[in-house]
Structure 1
């Protein structure tokens, strides 16, 4: 039940109808391609159909599927292959599901090239030239003339098969360092034949593919080409060549350009939280200025106000975000209806989506802030069979999810929080540079608590007697910083990460951080960035021709017990965190044995022998422990469910905590 009418926001540019070739679309919000980890598995086809159907119901103007390989050599584990009749028959189910709810869907035509793994495709990968990638560390076989001709034909036949089984369009994957991008780049194309050498010859493969597809599908069938606007690879395609390529694609018969950014090997963040919202839109905008067909953008377009301004200002014609559709299956509906307050925003954490595709074996993709993603049929949004009184103790991420899920199921919910604000660990995480998107999740939960009439009792610690009056109690009190068994942790200059991030202590100038997991790295980055003037202050000084504001000197040393640091951070983000730490001059010492903390610093034993690390402040980032809960006192009095870090603090992360809370709350009946 809604307690108030949220303010509606008009996104006029995004709400305008548009066209891609012969395809008329009701607005400008598409759904970009992403692999769900469900493809290629007969027992998961229903899940995949449900996933796309719900996004079509969420008013996606056009859904672009995860890639379907045009040949076995161009595929990957759990990927449909368009030369296989059984796979094409399975793929036919997706447009059927989407069309049932009046949606539109395009199939992405894909070839990995040198990004394929031999053990996944059952053969040596192929590429323009035999150059290994950092991604696979395998040397591909150079494609012969016959290989090239067969691949061009496979793209064309794959497009025709897509059209024949009901897809409304196709998208050709020519970005992110995959095969067609490999032919275009001088880094990966060292050929000396008609498909290599000069730029005109390097782009021939892509143009031949487009022209072959056009012949196969006819003049009216929409073709989108996902091209790389910026490879982020030194020595690769130049901006001038990129513009020339866009023009050539238009002339070859492409109906729209979807602009990708970066290769998987690149050392430039493109999809992580650290990337500003809409940060690469100028790349797409530059291309749009040189072509007359629609240009689509995707990277870090997670909120409608940014996307709407970019479309209104002429940078883009359409947006095609992918992960934001994991976070909220009703993304376009909320944009068109102006329900910004009710939007569950993608926070670009990558923990349950991209990181799941980078491990082997691959894990099914889901979403940290929306655990239903990819499992819609298993968790339908319907009322529970019986209405119960539910208490949730703790308003961190797990408790918030439990309260909202229980209320969505029709239960009467009371949420108790000992602090003055909701959010728990997310409030601290949001203070880390590049992680302020976490505030969006807190905002969303606050909105949903109000819409669902959840009673929220702040600065309240309920007693066992109070809680025993409920039918169910969800304990989600989270974790507290662990204090390691090191002599000297009781000294006054020793503090926890929570005290630092919550602003409870004044920060020192010579700092030793004990612990080099995700929290230790985040705290180090937070403190190092804090020693510099904020970006807007620096910009103001530059605009006024003033000297750059000086940094406040701060020496930070991170001490790690193991030989590595950054454990617990997802694969797609860890390298970015380490890169930032190096940029900020943060010192990391590994393989440390802690001897004692003294008033002047920390005595350690390292591979260099006994070392004394001077510090006027020591910050404990040595893991977490479960917060003391009321579960034992409630045993036998009420149904108790303990979730997240309160249940098990070992290796706890937000994705696990939120998923546990969701599943427990959903099952209350």
Structure 2
């Protein structure tokens, strides 16, 4: 192990509980030990348990599963009323403790206005009669209840009702009872979710979401009363020695409803600013909390709690180190934490431990790999959120996420085995075959890797001199460092496995290499739109990203999808003047694209006044400008030294699917990193 990591592998205490090292699994919705979005309500989730146990076996010190609502999402039963699941939890705790790790169960009071309503649930929330009919199964009105009447974060036409004092008291009691059952099951502590991220308890603490006039609104003490009474109830039921952590956002980083602050921005905070946080942290410690598990943000500034690629590494560390000065209890920091930076902060006393979430989905063994000096073996999380947490919103929609995605979170785009260990597994073959993979992009490389692990002879035929395919272009911006690391990881794995690679080898349909099976992974090519002047004056997105063509100061990007917006961000950070033209009524208006990622881009462009033209069409491109037709009938002429086309792709399969020919990735259907890698597994497991 490198000396720079040593501070992470020292013991520490939460109250009287000793933890073997300073690495914490951050709680993530989906890794819930009590599953919560399935018919029948909550239950002991064996798939989550398998993942958590693997993480514990590979040297994580403190395990915190995802949220357990104290009242079931489906069916409305209180969590403490189902004793069977706690018996199963007790058996699991024996297994987990055998690894040397400790575990807290995170309990939540609810979501309030942050509940991610899909269109059907939004309909229930708006229609009392329909909600009454559905209430025995799901009560949308209760699930969205907030401190006050507020706009729902996801469905613009839904307002929440105010939660009643009786409901508050019932929730407080439920926290105590659930914590007691967790303690009896051998759980080492609990975490209260959350004065954090704009969830229900946090909404009570924030002036912009709490307009109450009773004992739970108004003054500072009243706004923080709900959270304080919960920890007191838990301590009454479980004793002062039973550790209770609080998930805590140091600052809200919020400028308005649905509008967050950029890193380093000077802005007027409408939520919890640092001055209030200094007072709140001490108040919550004195109420009885034994640890603060910290980051920043609300659902209105969601990219602070779920940082995409565009956010800085260790983005919350400075604020968390500051707040530690005001408390005597341990403080943990989450948010794109890097081990070397976390270790340095621990060594210098800035924090007590670092929390890591989605990197554990990408590679549950990453901690043990660091200990063994095998950093090059760590599969990186690329912060895409495309499988783990793809709650989606764009103009005019509620949560535009498929129902199957809502029910099955914390899967991983780059590691299909996370939360899908039964479906995706490497099973050795008893009939080795020679498999030719035509195309060395991320899908082709992953297929070769799995085939080699299974015992097949896989060979890659790549028409260029480099592996990575179109993902090389996607990884080009400076903020895509983790994408570059993923390509490097795949190359390293193929070298270790001895996979043969044929570079500069273009396969033609009539000159296929000898093989038993063929995987066609030839990708896609850019769409062309018949715009006057495009052929003469516009370049493809990949031409820019790969550095084939340089651009001037004023650049028009035609297409406001993810690639177009990422190009605009890259140009802005390089000091250029990007302008986006998009035919839809919002940027990145697609399903299953995480709001944390998309809202950062929208907020960044809004804050920095990057011109965005929605509901717009391009009339003509000239050598100096782009003429754009607007929805209101006007035509504007945008100055343009260069024009970049980012209007999607279409498949270019070398062959059609057949008995021994398998189409993979974009050459079958244009998708993303998740569809490429999962598709590779789907094919490679069946050969």
Q: TM-score, normalised by structure 2?
A: 0.84
1:135-284 alignment to 2 at 5 Å? 135=154, 138-174=158-194, 175-233=196-254, 234-266=269-301, 269-270=304-305, 271-284=307-320
In 2, distance between residues paired with 1:436 and 1:592?
33
Match of 2:17 in 1: 23
In 1, distance between residues paired with 2:481 and 2:625?
32
- Structure 2 residue 683 is matched with structure 1 residue 664: yes
Structure 1 residues 390-410: Cα deviation after superposition (integer angstroms, max 9, x where no partner): 332222221222122222223
How far does residue 478 in structure 1 lie from its aligned partner after superposition? 1.4
In 1, distance between residues paired with 2:171 and 2:9?
39
Structure 1 residues 301-330: Cα deviation after superposition (integer angstroms, max 9, x where no partner): 1x3223222222322211221111111111
Match of 2:265 in 1: none
Higher mean displacement: 519-528 or 319-328: 519-528
1:300 to 336, 339, 350: 336
In structure 2, the CA distance between the partners of 1:129 and 1:91, relative to structure 1 (3 Å rule), is farther
In 2, distance between residues paired with 1:139 and 1:603?
41
Structure 1 residues 79-116: Cα deviation after superposition (integer angstroms, max 9, x where no partner): 98344446556655653663565543221010125234
In 2, distance between residues paired with 1:635 and 1:127?
55
Higher mean displacement: 83-92 or 183-192: 83-92
Match of 1:579 in 2: 603
How far does residue 278 in structure 1 lie from its aligned partner after superposition? 0.7
Structure 1 residues 462-500: Cα deviation after superposition (integer angstroms, max 9, x where no partner): 466875422332221212212223344432x32211111
Match of 2:644 in 1: 619
- Structure 2 residue 364 is matched with structure 1 residue 343: no
- Structure 2 residue 588 is matched with structure 1 residue 566: yes
In 2, distance between residues paired with 1:432 and 1:93?
48
How far does residue 256 in structure 1 lie from its aligned partner after superposition? 1.8
Match of 1:328 in 2: 363
How far does residue 77 in structure 1 lie from its aligned partner after superposition? 9.4
Unaligned runs of 5+ in 2: 118-124, 126-130, 132-137, 255-268, 393-398
In 2, distance between residues paired with 1:666 and 1:78?
40
Is contact 1:49-1:93 (8 Å) kept? no
How far does residue 53 in structure 1 lie from its aligned partner after superposition? 2.4
In 1, distance between residues paired with 2:2 and 2:510?
42
Match of 1:547 in 2: none
Match of 2:120 in 1: none
How far does residue 269 in structure 1 lie from its aligned partner after superposition? 4.0
Q: Secondary structure at the match of 1:109?
A: strand
- Structure 2 residue 474 is matched with structure 1 residue 452: no
Is contact 1:68-1:79 (8 Å) kept? no
2:672 to 638, 653, 657: 653
Match of 2:57 in 1: 57
Match of 2:258 in 1: none
Q: Secondary structure at the match of 2:250?
A: strand
In structure 2, the CA distance between the partners of 1:466 and 1:329, relative to structure 1 (3 Å rule), is farther
Give the length in aligned residue pairs. Answer: 630
- Structure 2 residue 80 is matched with structure 1 residue 47: no
In 1, distance between residues paired with 2:290 and 2:503?
55
In structure 2, the CA distance between the partners of 1:111 and 1:44, relative to structure 1 (3 Å rule), is closer
In structure 2, the CA distance between the partners of 1:582 and 1:231, relative to structure 1 (3 Å rule), is closer
In 1, distance between residues paired with 2:608 and 2:270?
26
Higher mean displacement: 53-62 or 609-618: 609-618
Q: Secondary structure at the match of 1:266?
A: helix
Q: Secondary structure at the match of 1:484?
A: coil
Is contact 2:44-2:85 (8 Å) kept? no
How far does residue 360 in structure 1 lie from its aligned partner after superposition? 5.8
In structure 2, the CA distance between the partners of 1:354 and 1:78, relative to structure 1 (3 Å rule), is farther
Match of 1:541 in 2: none
In structure 2, the CA distance between the partners of 1:425 and 1:585, relative to structure 1 (3 Å rule), is farther
In structure 2, the CA distance between the partners of 1:45 and 1:205, relative to structure 1 (3 Å rule), is closer
Unaligned runs of 5+ in 1: 1-6, 533-553
- Structure 2 residue 564 is matched with structure 1 residue 520: yes
Higher mean displacement: 603-612 or 222-231: 603-612
In 2, distance between residues paired with 1:135 and 1:596?
37
1:336-485 alignment to 2 at 5 Å? 336-356=371-391, 359=401, 361=403, 362-365=406-409, 366-432=411-477, 434-462=479-507, 467-485=512-530
In 2, distance between residues paired with 1:21 and 1:304?
25
Is contact 1:11-1:338 (8 Å) kept? no
Higher mean displacement: 116-125 or 304-313: 116-125
In structure 2, the CA distance between the partners of 1:36 and 1:77, relative to structure 1 (3 Å rule), is farther
Higher mean displacement: 32-41 or 289-298: 32-41
In structure 2, the CA distance between the partners of 1:653 and 1:266, relative to structure 1 (3 Å rule), is same
How far does residue 624 in structure 1 lie from its aligned partner after superposition? 0.8
In 2, distance between residues paired with 1:85 and 1:606?
61
Is contact 1:487-1:595 (8 Å) kept? yes
- Structure 2 residue 12 is matched with structure 1 residue 14: no
Structure 1 residues 586-634: Cα deviation after superposition (integer angstroms, max 9, x where no partner): 33333344455444544554432455555443322121122352x35x9
Higher mean displacement: 601-610 or 376-385: 601-610
Higher mean displacement: 436-445 or 349-358: 349-358
1:311 to 330, 346, 367: 346
How far does residue 441 in structure 1 lie from its aligned partner after superposition? 1.0
Match of 2:108 in 1: 110
In 1, distance between residues paired with 2:518 and 2:402?
38
Q: Secondary structure at the match of 2:341?
A: helix
Structure 1 residues 424-481: Cα deviation after superposition (integer angstroms, max 9, x where no partner): 2322222335333211211221222222222233333246687542233222121221
In 2, distance between residues paired with 1:507 and 1:10?
41
Structure 1 residues 211-236: Cα deviation after superposition (integer angstroms, max 9, x where no partner): 21112112332221212211223233
Higher mean displacement: 657-666 or 409-418: 409-418
In structure 2, the CA distance between the partners of 1:490 and 1:246, relative to structure 1 (3 Å rule), is closer
**Structural RMSD (CA):** 3.1
In 1, distance between residues paired with 2:155 and 2:519?
44
